[in-house]
Amino acid sequence: MSNQFDFRAAAKQVLDIEVAALQELDTYFDDQFEKACELILSNSGKVVVMGIGKSGHIGNKIAATLASTGTSAFFVHPGEAAHGDLGMISPGDIVLAISNSGESNEILSLFPVLKRLNIKIISMTGKPESNMAKLSDLHLQITVPQEACPLGLAPPRRLICSEVMGHALAVALLQARGFSAEDFALSHPGGALGRKLLLKLSDIMHFGEALPKVSPNALIRDALLEISEKGLGMTAIVDEHDAMLGIFTDGDLRRTLDKRIDIHTTAIGEVMTTNPTTAHPDMLAVEGLNLMQNKNINALILCKDEKIVGALNMHDLLKAGVM
């Protein structure tokens, strides 16, 4: 049977129908949409999203998108709200209710209580003449003339329009708030973006006894022991006040051996690399990575107030998930 049915043609038809639906959605970014954005932006409370069935799944996603982009929001199931969870909604909150028909009994049954609490209600429906649309303070329309399902039963088209309307609301509010990448990272501290935007070199650097450093008078062999013990592939050369004088790396060792310099009698200060690349410990880890890649170096010394305070290498950045 699979050889007779054109799956690609069916999929293409779905795509064409849903793209057309999204293009039509542009007409619904109207005065009501603008007022909804202004209401949420000027409000000090939370946005409480609710929906039943597939609209509930979309509502959950919209609430998550709002919350992660600067608008405090959460999802409440209307059925659970009718049995106690309505207590999660406080005066000053705004309810965003989603229903394609606009006649969801579970949601409509909550309207009298919400209005008694002076809760503003924004409905998102496909029927502007529905009870939800009429009883709400504002209405976001998501009407779709044709569903992608040939039976007209499965609602993929209207669900996509619901989600896009919610995302448009979230992004419009994001831009109006001046929400930055750093703000986004604060709500995503456990993700890759959070690590890139929040993690500093000081969070992953080696310091104290783990910091490789020797005096300029130390013999090369002693510096090699320090490199081997601390495991960073280099050592800093510092004065008695821990001021940075130079660095000695695995590459410097190879060049030293090529010159047949005696590592048992020569001081490290004679072969160290002076004026090495350094960074401040408060530098973002991703900026430190860029610096090391641009300079083509595998290790980095961190200095503060002209004194060495830490060190790290590419392996440390890799373990921290920055790379």
CATH code, domain with 251: 3.10.580.10
Cα distance between residue 21 and residue 97, in whole Å: 21
Shared domain check, 207 and 124:
no
Cα distance between residue 270 and residue 220, in whole Å: 9
Across residues 67-72, what is the average pLDDT? 88
Cα distance between residue 190 and residue 169, in whole Å: 25
Cα distance between residue 243 and residue 306, in whole Å: 6
According to the model, what pLDDT value does residue 178 have? Answer: 83
In the numeric block, the tokens 């609710």 are attached to: 50
Burial of 258 (0-12, 13-18, 19+ CB in 10 A): exposed
Q: How does pLDDT run across 281-299, given as a tens digit for each residue?
A: 999 888 999 999 999 999 9
Shared domain check, 145 and 283:
no
Its sign, for the CA torsion 292, 293, 295, 298, is positive
Task: Name the pTM for this structure.
Answer: 0.62
CA 105 vs. chain centroid, Å, equals 37
Shared domain check, 236 and 131:
no
According to the model, what pLDDT value does residue 224 have? Answer: 95
According to the model, what pLDDT value does residue 114 have? Answer: 93
- pLDDT > 70: percent of the chain: 89
Q: How does pLDDT run across 146-201, given as a tens digit for each residue?
A: 544 454 544 566 788 889 999 999 999 988 988 776 666 666 566 666 666 678 89
Shared domain check, 239 and 115:
no
Residue 321 has pLDDT above 70, yes or no: yes
Shared domain check, 253 and 134:
no
According to the model, what pLDDT value does residue 239 have? Answer: 94
**Parallel/antiparallel/unpaired status of strands 47-51 and 94-98:** parallel
Shared domain check, 219 and 91:
no
Higher pLDDT residue, 316 or 186?
316
According to the model, what pLDDT value does residue 10 have? Answer: 82
According to the model, what pLDDT value does residue 153 have? Answer: 44
Contact (Cβ atoms closer than 8 angstroms) between residue 272 and residue 245:
yes
According to the model, what pLDDT value does residue 154 have? Answer: 46
Across residues 75-84, what is the average pLDDT? 90
**Parallel/antiparallel/unpaired status of strands 244-249 and 234-238:** antiparallel
Q: How does pLDDT run across 215-257, given as a tens digit for each residue?
A: 999 999 999 999 999 999 999 999 999 999 999 998 899 999 9
Residue 265 has pLDDT above 50, yes or no: yes
Across residues 40-62, what is the average pLDDT? 93
* pLDDT band at residue 68 under the 50/70/90 scheme: confident
Residue 129 lies in a domain: yes
Residue 195 lies in a domain: no
User: Which residue range(s) make up the domain with 234?
Assistant: 201-319
According to the model, what pLDDT value does residue 187 have? Answer: 64
According to the model, what pLDDT value does residue 148 have? Answer: 45
Residue 189 lies in a domain: no
Residue 193 lies in a domain: no
Residue 186 lies in a domain: no
Residue 315 has pLDDT above 90, yes or no: yes
Number of domains observed in the structure of the chain: 2
Shared domain check, 55 and 164:
yes
According to the model, what pLDDT value does residue 159 have? Answer: 80
